[in-house]
Amino acid sequence: MSNTIGFLGAGYVGLVSGTCFASLGHQVLVCDINQKRIDSLEAGVMPIYEPGLAELVERGRQSGHLQFTSSLEQVVRKANIIFICVGTPMGKGGRADLQYVQGVYQDIAKHLKSHRIFVNKSTVPVGSGAWVQDILKAEGVKANLFDVVSNPEFLREGNAVYDFMNPDRVVVGSDNPKAAQAVAGLYMPLRPRILTTDLKSAELIKYASNAFLATKISFINEIANLCENLDANIEDVATGMGMDERIGKGFLNAGPGFGGSCFPKDTAALLTIAKDAKNPLKIVQAAADVNHAQRRIAIKKLKKHLPELKGKTIALLGLAFKANTDDVRESPAMDMLLDMVKEGATVRVYDPEALEHLPKKKGVEAAASVEEALQGAHAAVIATEWPQFKNIPVNTYKKLLKKPLVVDARNLVDRSAAKAAGLVVESIGRGAK
């Protein structure tokens, strides 16, 4: 039997995990339906921005462990374990849209000749393991030709290579212990903690983990808003809470609400899964509601100082949904941009990696640098926590802005320096001092 492992979908998850597995010495074939993406990878050009990825891809290609293809048939022919890494975006009513998962399994069925293990790495609703088995059977594939395993992925964008290589845990769900063992075995070089369980529990672990982290963020954002009313400081409050190991210090940064391709869609999908099971989740619903309101807070703060945005120019620092990524899916920065443009402002945007996703719209302008964005603007809004934004001297704002006003939705600006320089800073939950 071949020892090749296949990846269907060369996005953040498929490309990163395939490349990392190749670096562990496995023979890896990564496939994407998007020919341009494959051509670009073969030319050594990364289709996404992810720190450390380009070097690892290059090493994989040089060593011969990593290959790219647009032929799903080739993957099904050559690989004995095949990871499904296609997108599962938010669909109607918040449900996960499973059209790509369905499409991929229907294509697999056309080419499947001998036994393969299919691994759902995409985030899919509870019950999808059984559902994809039904798809294969409905397409005429005999049950003894495949096993299905759930192996959810927990990497974060911007940290994807590190997270994959240093997992807190690897979750493997299957009804067949031999298939689960084969998948878990691939991770052995990483010596991770492995949890083996049934398919449904593995699928739910993924949604519950994301919903828990999203809830932690909404919780701290609510406390941040309370801090403003009580004149307390959210950074000290979060630090003090995080010192308790039962709480943990991660995911306690107050800000403009969670965004990205995962938390918004996965909390929405979990709510529909729970509703269908007639077991609504009140806490997750509250986390989603708090987030909805939080994403509007920065512009509300801006309008406290500039009630009329029409005719004003605003510098927007950041477009990506968080630092170290070019991903703008569900980015709070994008909401801020569109809200301001809708009110008639001209918004000059700078982001180190995400500017190619800038909407082509009247009132939206790209800036080539922080300074270009700030020059002559009526105010600045910091939307993404890029490290270079943290290092902007307060005097730069003071010198370049028409009005000395910064809405700091990521709590990056040193407020005592700002005060000394006469710069007005609106931040999130830092109180008046």
Q: What would the two tokens of residue 144 be?
A: 């003894």
Q: Which of 4, 5, 12, 274 binds ligand NAD (CB under 6 A)?
A: 12
Angle of helix 12-23 versus helix 53-63 axis, rounded to 10: 50
CB 256 within 8 A of CB 323: no
193 burial type by CB count under 10 A (0-12 exposed, 13-18 middle, 19+ buried)? exposed
Task: Determine what percent of the chain falls in helix, strand and coil, rounding each to the nearest 5.
Answer: 45, 15, 40
Q: What would the two tokens of residue 401 be?
A: 């802005």
If one asks whether residue 211 binds ligand UGA (CB under 6 A), the answer comes out as no
Q: Give the residue nearest to ligand UGA (CB).
A: 262
Q: Which of 5, 13, 41, 336 binds ligand NAD (CB under 6 A)?
A: 13
> In the range 181-210, which residues lie near ligand NAD by CB under 6 A?
none
Map tokens 């009526």 to a residue: 378
If one asks whether residue 19 binds ligand NAD (CB under 6 A), the answer comes out as no
CB 150 within 8 A of CB 173: yes
Of the candidates 163, 165, 107, the one whose C-alpha atom is nearest the C-alpha of residue 135 is: 107
Of the candidates 403, 409, 399, 236, the one whose C-alpha atom is nearest the C-alpha of residue 335 is: 409
**Alpha helices per DSSP H over 187-308:** 199-230, 234-242, 263-276, 282-294, 297-305
27-66 mask for ligand NAD (x: CB under 6 A)? ----xxxx--x-----------------------------
Among ligand NAD, ligand UGA, none, residue 253 binds (CB under 5-8 Å by kind): ligand UGA
The pairing of strands 146-150 and 170-174 is antiparallel
CB 285 within 8 A of CB 412: no
**Residue range at the interface with ligand NAD (CB under 6 A); choices 81-89, 182-190, 245-253, 312-320:** 81-89
Among ligand UGA, ligand NAD, none, residue 321 binds (CB under 5-8 Å by kind): ligand UGA
d(CA 119, CA 105): 11
# binding residues, ligand NAD (CB under 6 A) = 28
Instruction: Pick the catalytic residue from 31, 85, 227, 262.
Output: 262
**Alpha helices per DSSP H over 248-364:** 263-276, 282-294, 297-305, 332-342
Of the candidates 160, 163, 117, the one whose C-alpha atom is nearest the C-alpha of residue 136 is: 117
Bridge partners (DSSP) listed for residue 133: none
CB closer to ligand NAD out of 261 and 291: 261
**Residue range at the interface with ligand UGA (CB under 6 A); choices 136-144, 260-268, 363-371, 419-427:** 260-268
266-305 mask for ligand UGA (x: CB under 6 A)? ----------------------------------------
If one asks whether residue 26 binds ligand UGA (CB under 6 A), the answer comes out as no
If one asks whether residue 318 binds ligand UGA (CB under 6 A), the answer comes out as no
**Residue range at the interface with ligand NAD (CB under 6 A); choices 103-111, 190-198, 286-294, 360-368:** 103-111
If one asks whether residue 156 binds ligand UGA (CB under 6 A), the answer comes out as yes
Per-position b or e across 216-250, b if 16+ CB within 10 A of its CB = bbbbbbbbbbebbeeebbbbebbeeeeeeeeeeee
Q: How far is the CB of 367 from ligand NAD (least distance, A)?
A: 27
Could you tell me the CA-to-CA distances from 411 to 136, 175, 221, 302 in Å, in that order? Answer: 50, 47, 12, 15
Q: Which of 47, 173, 259, 363 binds ligand UGA (CB under 6 A)?
A: 259
CB closer to ligand UGA out of 76 and 161: 161
Angle of helix 128-138 versus helix 99-111 axis, rounded to 10: 40
Answer yes or no: 85 catalytic.
no
Among ligand NAD, ligand UGA, none, residue 210 binds (CB under 5-8 Å by kind): ligand UGA
# binding residues, ligand UGA (CB under 6 A) = 20
Among ligand NAD, ligand UGA, none, residue 269 binds (CB under 5-8 Å by kind): none
Q: Which of 19, 120, 133, 210 binds ligand UGA (CB under 6 A)?
A: 210
If one asks whether residue 150 binds ligand NAD (CB under 6 A), the answer comes out as no
Binding site for ligand UGA (CB under 6 A): 123, 153-157, 210, 213, 217, 251-253, 255, 258-260, 262-263, 321-322
Give contact residues for ligand NAD (rule: CB under 6 A).
8-14, 31-34, 37, 72, 85-88, 100, 103-104, 107, 122-123, 153, 155, 157, 261-262
